[in-house]
Amino acid sequence: MNEDRLGRALLRAPVPDQEEAAERAWRVLSAAYAERDRTTPGRRRSLRLAWMAIAIGLLALLISPAGAAVRHWVRDAVDIGREPSSPALTSLPSPGQVLVDSPSGPWIVQEDGSKRRLGDYRESIFSPRGLFVAATTRHELLALDPQGEVRWSIARRGPVTHPSWNSPDGFRIAYLDDRSLRVIGGDGLRVIGGEGRGDGLLRQGVAEVEPAWRPGADHVLAFADPDGSVHAVAVDSDRELFDTGPAQVPVALAWSADGSRLLIARRSGVELVDAAGTPVKRVRAPAGTRISALAASPRGHRFALIVRSGGPTPRSALVLAGERGHSRRLFVGPGAFSGLAFSPDGRWLLLAWRSADQWVFLEPSGRQRIVAVSNISSQFSPGETGPTRFPRIAGWCCAAP
């Protein structure tokens, strides 16, 4: 083997997240160094004090929630009841707002933990900048402002489900009217560059999978057919860009933040295809498990997925994967995880752990903190005395306007 070539290849081998890792490390190191430097009235004494300061810092790291999280990460699994959790959602760990679909309707949760119910709707989704919410009733699609005031609505024979708002211009909303895929202007009336119709049928007989808009101004929509084939269509010209061909019906579709990759999650694995529909990578679910949810990171080509094992004692895992490098389990627990979302800055993941009635916020990199919140169902169904349905995470969007 050519050893010079080997050396060059080792130097060029991709190291994920390299620059951000360096920034994080420098912040930690400079803080530790400053701690050492603050104790310098006498050099010999300062050495002892610096030692003590760093030792205390490291001890604090080990016993603080952040340190606990690091240990959990190393252990790879956290069990119900063993992770100390907060009894109420008092804040979000990262800027932004979380949209939640509960049995009593959608709620917007602000960064300080305050929340507002928008009304009696079934499903909801944020507009690209979080200024509006598209919501559905059985036979209506509506646009609401963050106070819950209806800006426009359109009635359909229905049922109306799976709304999806395009980004970044917000000029299109796709939704399912029974099994028909329709697209409407984001202002409820106006379709820029379309055929002048306020609301148009794109395809009939599609699968019940939330369609996914490719980020960008060209209004490309990915959706699935009942035979499992996934199509990408330039909506304004109704031009089909690709069709993956029949396969298992997807459980979720998502585009990478730069729009260069479509992630297709099926029960048996996740496939990454490029903008022309050419497969780039496949991540297979292990035997005896199935994938139930997917979220794309707002940064890079990373994505998170929920994998669930069957049998008498089912377990679920939250897995972080990317186009390069290996998949990494972030969290494993008994029962079912029902949803996930990345924070707007991509640093945190919110995991809905239905079986534990908890939300778990995880920071996959950096300080690798973990924050669990209990009693989620009752917090989104105030006044209910009986068992309530666990709420669905509908999005984690931009900071409050």
Partner 1 sequence: MGLRRQIGGNEASIVRAAQNGSEDALATLFRSHWPMAHRAAYLVVRDEAAAEDIAQEAFLSAIRALGRFDRRRPFGPWLHRIVVNRAIDWSRARTLRREVSAMPEPAELPASAPEEKPYSDQLEAALANLAAESRAVIVLRHLLGYTPGEIARMLGLPRGTVNSRLRRALDRLAEELEESG
Binders of partner 1 in range 329-358 (CB under 8 A): 329, 332
Instruction: List, in order, residues 6 or more apart from 311 with CB less than 8 Å away.
Output: 288
Minimum Å distance from CB 47 to partner 1? Answer: 5
Least Cα distance to 258 among 323, 327, 164, 349 occurs for: 323
Which residues ranging from 358 to 377 are in contact with partner 1 (CB under 8 A)?
364-365, 368
Contact 271, 282 (CB under 8 A): yes
Closer by beta carbon to partner 1, 51 or else 169: 51
Please return the burial class of 356, using the count of CB atoms within 10 Å of its CB with bins 0-12, 13-18 and 19+: buried
How far, rounded to the nearest angstrom, does the alpha carbon of residue 332 sit from its chain's CA centroid? 17
Closer by beta carbon to partner 1, 33 or else 155: 33
Integer Cα distance of 267 and 293 in angstroms: 9
Minimum Å distance from CB 93 to partner 1? Answer: 17
Tell me how many residues contact partner 1 (CB under 8 A). 73
Closer by beta carbon to partner 1, 6 or else 201: 6
Integer Cα distance of 106 and 93 in angstroms: 21
Minimum Å distance from CB 321 to partner 1? Answer: 7
Long-range pairs for 123-127: beta carbons < 8 A, 24 or more residues apart: 123/161, 123/162, 123/163, 123/394, 124/99, 124/163, 124/394, 125/99, 125/163, 125/164, 125/165, 125/394, 125/395, 126/97, 126/99, 126/165, 126/394, 126/395, 126/397, 126/398, 127/165, 127/170, 127/186
Integer Cα distance of 319 and 87 in angstroms: 26
Which residues ranging from 298 to 317 are in contact with partner 1 (CB under 8 A)?
305, 307, 309, 315, 317
Closer by beta carbon to partner 1, 7 or else 84: 7
Minimum Å distance from CB 339 to partner 1? Answer: 19
Closer by beta carbon to partner 1, 209 or else 330: 330
| Interface region with partner 1, contact rule CB under 8 A, candidates 34-42, 254-262, 370-378, 384-392 | 34-42
User: In the stretch 253-292, what mask flags binding to partner 1 with x, by CB under 8 A?
Assistant: ----------------xxxx-----xxxxxxxxxx-x---
Dump strand ranges (E) for 156-225. 160-165, 172-177, 180-185, 199-203, 212-213, 220-224
Identify the three-state secondary structure at position 58: helix
User: In the stretch 155-174, what mask flags binding to partner 1 with x, by CB under 8 A?
Assistant: --------------------
Minimum Å distance from CB 151 to partner 1? Answer: 42
Minimum Å distance from CB 250 to partner 1? Answer: 16
Phi, psi dihedral angles at 382 (to 5 degrees): -60, 140
Contact 346, 297 (CB under 8 A): yes
| Interface region with partner 1, contact rule CB under 8 A, candidates 24-32, 101-109, 114-122, 226-234 | 24-32
Whole-Å CA distances, 364 to 27, 32, 178, 181: 17, 22, 38, 36
Among 11, 157, 383, 386, binds partner 1 (CB under 8 A): 11
Minimum Å distance from CB 25 to partner 1? Answer: 5
Closer by beta carbon to partner 1, 364 or else 391: 364
Closer by beta carbon to partner 1, 141 or else 317: 317
Identify the three-state secondary structure at position 364: coil
Which residues ranging from 36 to 95 are in contact with partner 1 (CB under 8 A)?
36-37, 40, 47, 50-51, 54, 58, 70, 73-77
Closer by beta carbon to partner 1, 24 or else 299: 24
Token pair listed for 130: 């979080």
Closer by beta carbon to partner 1, 53 or else 133: 53
Minimum Å distance from CB 28 to partner 1? Answer: 6
Minimum Å distance from CB 7 to partner 1? Answer: 5
